[in-house]
Amino acid sequence: MARRKSGPGIDAQPDTGPDFDPEWCERIRGKLVEWYETAHRDLPWRASRDPYRILVSETMLVQTTVTAVVPFFERFITRFPTIRDLANADEADVLKAWEGLGYYRRARQLHAAGQAIVRDHGGVIPDDPDALRALPGVGRYIAGAILSFAFNIPAPILEANTQRVMARWLAWPDDIKSTRSQARLWEAATRVVPTRDPATFNQAFMELGALVCIPRNPMCLTCPVATECRARELGLQDRLPVATPKAAPLEMSEAAIVVVENGRVLMLRRKPGVLWEGFWEFPTVHRDGPDPARRLIDGCVSTEATLEATMGLSLQVGPVVSSLNYVVTKHKVRMDVHFAIKDSGDLKPGPGHVEARWVDRDEFEQLTRSSATRRAVAALLKAGVLTSEGEWGVLAPRKSR
């Protein structure tokens, strides 16, 4: 087979590599497991081999750090201690328990997976790879985690940390996200995972990527398997893995309008099929740039006109009282927050929303609010333009002195 030049000055050949050497695999396994015995972190989902806890934790860990996940995992498990508790819950309650973790599609898929497990498997999480991967939101990685961690079945795992480790072990030079690369890395992960105690090995594999073989400036001097790493041998550990740079975020701007009347604040709930579906938000108007939530209403040339078309109320919108920036999907958003006073009109949900209502302090706390709305509240509190009563308080403009 002809060798194909690829990547940062090295050759890529899918049918050769250290993982084809059984002795290399054994050395990797032994050194990694020995290191893990003393170097591992005590994480709450490692306290047992309960497949439900593993399903929840691995779903949360997709695109999210361990540090961020720990408090959410503990809160979620307290709220839904069993798969049946999760399956029987309302989606709104599941989203509320997930609130602040982001990537809410994961929460909906986890809820749907729980319902499928109760409906199709008698409430018992299956130990069959095909049955697991048929569950909503359960791909090859999460299935492998459940199989190995819960059932000690030798299933490979490959996620952000482990694919980086494997790419360096192999000195793999292609774009790590390409189909060819993914096939090769999964093949190697399958070959390396042992038949004896795969749970500990896979945990160690992930821990190495999280603590030592990190994205930038990997700590090769303290790595237990540095002598087995081809990237280290070739001096390429800082250049691998190869990844296509992400596109620059699309810039857009919007305005969030805080309307308070008789101690209640106006909130709208988004319709299905749009960004943050089912979540509550302040009335929000798209102003410039691409609009991921499709909130722009044709023919409305002002904030006031858009608001009236959106919810049937005529408002007097005041100046900007706080501004913030946040990122959602591939968009970088600037949000200006205004207070407004109701003039006239009858409240109704317009395009993009299924419900609109005035809510008091206690109800506001119970609503599942969009990330943008929670950020807006935090910005207003920081700017000192909201008052508080007790633990939280009704949103209201600060009285002039």
Task: Give the containing element (helix H, strand E) for 132.
Answer: helix 129-133
**222-228 long-range contacts, CB within 8 A, separation 24+:** 224/31, 224/32, 224/34, 224/35, 225/27, 225/28, 225/31, 225/32, 225/35, 225/169, 228/18, 228/24, 228/27, 228/28, 228/31, 228/169
Could you tell me which of 214, 220, 216, 207 has the C-alpha nearest to residue 32? 207
* Tokens read off for 145: 């985690």
The HSE-up count of residue 290 (CA atoms within 13 Å, CB side) is 9
> Angle at Cα 324 formed by Cα 319 and Cα 330, nearest 5°?
125
DSSP assignment of 107-128 = HHHHHHHHHHHHHHHTT-----
Q: Say which residue the tokens 């609009």 belong to.
A: 291
Integer CA distances (angstroms), 331 to 69, 250, 292, 326, in order: 23, 5, 8, 8
User: At 261, is the secondary structure helix, strand, or coil?
Assistant: strand
Query: Which among 58, 159, 228, 254 is annotated as catalytic?
Result: 58
* Tokens read off for 225: 């398997």
DSSP 249: P
Residue type, 392: W
Question: According to DSSP H, which parts of 222-270 are helical?
Answer: 230-234
- Dihedrals φ, ψ of 363, to 5°? -70, -35
58 has catalytic annotation: yes
Beta pairing class for 284-288 and 280-281: unpaired
| Gap between the Cα atoms of 352 and 289, Å rounded | 18
Taking the alpha carbons of 204, 207, 212, 213 in that order, is the dihedral positive or negative?
positive
**Inter-residue contact 242 to 164 (CB < 8 Å):** no
Residues designated as active site:
58
